[in-house]
Chain A
Amino acid sequence: MMARILEFIGQSIEDLVVEMGKILLLLVQSIQWLVVPPLRWRHILKQMEFVGVKSVAVVLLTGAFTGMVLALQTYIGFKKFNAENLVGAIVGLSMTRELGPVLTGIMVTARAGSAMAAEIGTMRVTEQIDALYTLATNPVKYLIVPRLVAGILMLPFLTVIGDFIGVVGGYFVGVELLGINAVAYMHNTTRYVEMSDLINGLIKSAFFGLILTLIGCYKGFNTQGGAEGVGRATTGSVVLSSILIIISDYFLTALMF
């Protein structure tokens, strides 16, 4: 019994290490193909629209409500020692340093990363990827490189929007609903939130953009077994991307702050 459990754990770890190796290999290949001309700007722009522009609504919604609930929660706690005026600073710091990048990353994973896995996975099982090879077009360069570039470029952009709307949401709840002094609220926000907080958050978000597009493409590219396989690739990409975003968030934070 014990041996079986150990074998299972060992096998799982081995599978994970092998998969991480393959993902890294795909990243290396992508970088190699990125520097081979031509750079497909038209494809990159199309993906930027898909990853970025079309995610704005979902980022606005999650950002606003996150800022709002953050203000509500901190108000309840801070009121106990008369520090309500600091609610704005907490909302601003939490949004820019942590919640903006991570929540944006996870929302875009759910929206765009999963769609990439499904689209590329369907192309794999219907032999469209093989067709690209036979037409002397490398699918890593054609399909994956533009998606990675779009993810890295657009996530910081979306995160800025999420940060901003979160702060606005926090202000609305703190000042308009809970009656915190508007001047004190804004004063503390601008006093404690520094440019470096914002920029470090944006650097993290670019990493998350890489992670979610890389995993989405990897899972799609390695899809096996028809419609069921596409389903597995799609859920697999969301789960793995979300986990990697949250784990890498800790290490990136520890490294930068």
Chain B
Amino acid sequence: MAKIEVSDLYKSFNGQEVLRGIDLSVEEGETLVVIGRSGEGKSVFLKHLIGLLKPDRGEIFIDGREITRMDERELNEVRRKFGMLFQQSALFDSMTVGENVAFPLQEHTKMSDREIAEAVRQKLKLVGLEGVEEKMPDELSGGMRKRVGLARAIALNPEILLYDEPTTGLDPILCDSINRLIIDTRKHLHVTSVVISHDIEGAYRIGTRIAMLHQGKLIEIGTPSQIQSSENPIVQQFIQGKSEGPITVN
């Protein structure tokens, strides 16, 4: 059984169709990178997987359970299997770094304050940060915020990790370190990951499979080498980063 199964997913906003029939299955332990141009609905797709958005049509199965028709309480149960890293990290800016990472532990476990403090220290160490518990999120650089966001996302040892453009807006060195972190996290925690990105080099590195979203549909899906040798001109134009071709720039 696939970890994530999406079938015939449709979503439109104000009459404009963003997702037009997505079918996809993600196996346990794999890292699927969804690539595509900005504004193609990649984030919208990701938000459906964790129930932040409800589709107009279609079904999503997580471990065989259909989630699109669940109520909020059932969804919360399923969401505990997930961790999500947001594009801008979405750290709670009224809390310290330590409190941010501790948040899911305080909400969902019966751990003592000391156990939580130790778990927070470990998770931060896992993402390469030490001694930052007392800092406020706005004192951190963009790369560090991403790391804290990831530490918070993995606090409850999730089975599925969702990354919304984890490297957007970072310099090449930071991009590489975040990509490495995604690979290490998969190794350490054996998680299934779905990554949204338009960083094609990063996608080759971290992805076990890559899917390309174009005009609301997945037009190609395969291993990095299959994608590289794709005969689809749209895929080729995108991965080569050319402004001329079947995709027009407006």
Contacts and interface: CB of A to CB of B under 8 A. Distances in A.
A127 B46 CA distance: 14
Nearest to B77: A136
A177 B242 CA distance: 83
Name the interface size band of chain B. Answer: 20 to 34
Interface in B22-80: 47, 50-52, 72, 76-77, 79-80
Nearest to A131: B90
A134 B52 contact: yes
Interface in A110-148: 119, 122-123, 126-128, 130-131, 133-138
B136 to A, nearest CB: 14
A135 B75 CA distance: 11
B79 A136 contact: yes
B237 interface: no
B87 interface: yes
A70 B90 CA distance: 50
B244 interface: no
Contacts of A130: 47, 52, 86, 90
B93 A134 contact: no
B204 interface: no
Interface in A136-195: 136-138
Interface stretch (B2-10, B102-110, B125-133): B102-110
Contacts of A122: 93
B47 A128 contact: no
A128 B92 CA distance: 6
Interface in A41-57: none
Contacts of B84: 131, 134
B191 to A, nearest CB: 14
Nearest to B79: A136
B88 A136 contact: no
Nearest to B103: A135
A136 B52 contact: no
A131 B92 contact: yes
Interface centre among A122, A134, A136, A138 (most CB of B within 10 A): A134
B92 A136 contact: no
B88 A134 contact: no
B80 A128 contact: no
Given A138-B72, A138-B76, A133 B90 contact: no
A138 to B, nearest CB: 6
Contacts of B80: 136
A130 B84 CA distance: 10
A126 B108 CA distance: 23
Given A134-B50, A135-B104, A128 B76 contact: no
B82 interface: yes
Nearest to B82: A134
A122 B72 CA distance: 23
B107 A136 contact: yes
A138 B108 CA distance: 12
Nearest to A128: B90
A136 B90 contact: no
A123 B91 CA distance: 9
B248 to A, nearest CB: 27
A136 B108 CA distance: 8
B25 to A, nearest CB: 22
Given A126-B88, A130-B52, A130-B86, A135 B107 contact: yes
Given A135-B79, A135-B107, A138-B76, 13 more contacts: A126-B90, A127-B88, A128-B91, A130-B47, A130-B86, A131-B92, A133-B51, A134-B79, A134-B153, A134-B162, A135-B104, A136-B76, A136-B108
Interface of B: 47, 50-52, 72, 76-77, 79-80, 82-84, 86-88, 90-94, 103-104, 107-108, 152-153, 162
Interface of A: 119, 122-123, 126-128, 130-131, 133-138
16 contacts: A123-B92, A126-B88, A126-B90, A126-B93, A127-B88, A133-B51, A133-B52, A133-B79, A134-B50, A134-B82, A135-B79, A135-B152, A136-B79, A136-B107, A136-B108, A138-B76
